[in-house]
Amino acid sequence: MSISASDVKRHAVELGFDLCGIAPAQAFSELRFFKEWLDRGYAGEMSYLERTAQAREDVRVSMPWARSVIALATLYNSRRPHSTDLPPDEARISRYAWGDDYHVVVGARLEKLLRWMRERGDTSFEARSYVDTGPVQERVYARYAGLGWIGKNTCLINKDLGSWLFLSEIVTSLPLEPDVPALDHCGTCTRCLDLCPTGALVEPHVLDSNRCLSYLTIELKGAIPTEHHDSLGSHVYGCDICQEVCPWNSTAASTTDPSWSPRPGLDQPRLVSLWRRSDAELSELLKGSAMKRAKLRGLRRNVAVALGNLGTPEAREALQEVGDPQASPSAADPMVAEHVASALRKVESGEGGDGA
Catalytic residue numbers, as ranges: 132
Nearer to ligand SF4 by Cβ, of 212 and 266: the residue is: 212
Residue 26 and residue 13: Cα distance in Å, rounded?
25
Please report, for the chain, how many H helices and E strands are present, in that order.
Answer: 17, 10
CA neighbor of 160 nearest in space, from 251, 73, 272: 251
Q: Least distance to ligand SF4 from the beta carbon of 230, Å?
A: 13
Q: How far apart are the C-alpha atoms of 50 and 290, rounded to whole Å? A: 23
Cα separation of 128 and 63, whole Å?
9
Among the listed residues 137, 158, 214, 289, the single contact to ligand SF4 using CB under 6 A: 214
CA separation for the pair 57, 268 (Å, rounded): 39
Find the shortest distance in angstroms from Cβ 242 to ligand SF4: 3
Helix (H, G, I), strand (E, B) or coil at 173: coil
Site string for ligand SF4, 128-157 (x = CB under 6 A): -----------------------xxx----
Neighbours of 36 (CB within 10 A): 10
When asked if residue 83 is in the footprint of ligand SF4 (CB under 6 A), the reply is no
Shortest Å distance, C-beta 9 to ligand SF4 = 26
Cβ distance to ligand SF4 smaller for residue 146 or 197: 197
User: Of 56-64, 108-116, 206-214, 345-353, which part binds ligand SF4 (CB under 6 A)?
Assistant: 206-214
The reply on whether position 207 binds ligand SF4 by CB under 6 A is: yes
Q: Does residue 86 touch ligand SF4 according to CB under 6 A?
A: no
What whole-number distance in Å separates Cα of residue 286 and Cα of residue 72? Answer: 26
Q: Which of 24, 44, 107, 247 binds ligand SF4 (CB under 6 A)?
A: 247
Name the residue type at position 11: H
Report the nearest approach of ligand SF4 to the CB of residue 195 (Å): 7
Among 43, 165, 232, 246, binds ligand SF4 (CB under 6 A): 246
Least distance CB 269 / ligand SF4 (angstroms): 20
Measured from the CB atom, is 59 or 218 closer to ligand SF4? 218
When binding is defined by CB under 6 A, the residue of 127, 212, 307, 318 that contacts ligand SF4 is 212
User: Which residue intervals of 286-328 are DSSP H helices?
Assistant: 295-310, 313-320
Is the Cβ–Cβ distance between 35 and 53 less than 8 Å?
yes
Whether 243 and 164 have beta carbons less than 8 Å apart is answered as yes
Task: Select 103 or 185, whichever has its Cβ closest to ligand SF4.
Answer: 185
Interaction between residue 213 and ligand SF4 (CB under 6 A): yes
Three-state SS at 282? helix
Task: For residue 201, state whether it binds ligand SF4 (rule: CB under 6 A).
Answer: yes
Site for ligand SF4 in 168-187 (CB under 6 A): 186
CA distance 66 to 25: 6
Give least dist CB 245 to ligand SF4, A: 6
Cα separation, 149 vs 140, in Å, equals 9
Our finding on whether 189 is near ligand SF4 (CB under 6 A) is yes
Torsion of CA 248, 249, 250, 256, to 10 degrees: 140
Binding site for ligand SF4 (CB under 6 A): 151-153, 186, 189-192, 196-198, 200-201, 207, 212-214, 239, 241-242, 245-248
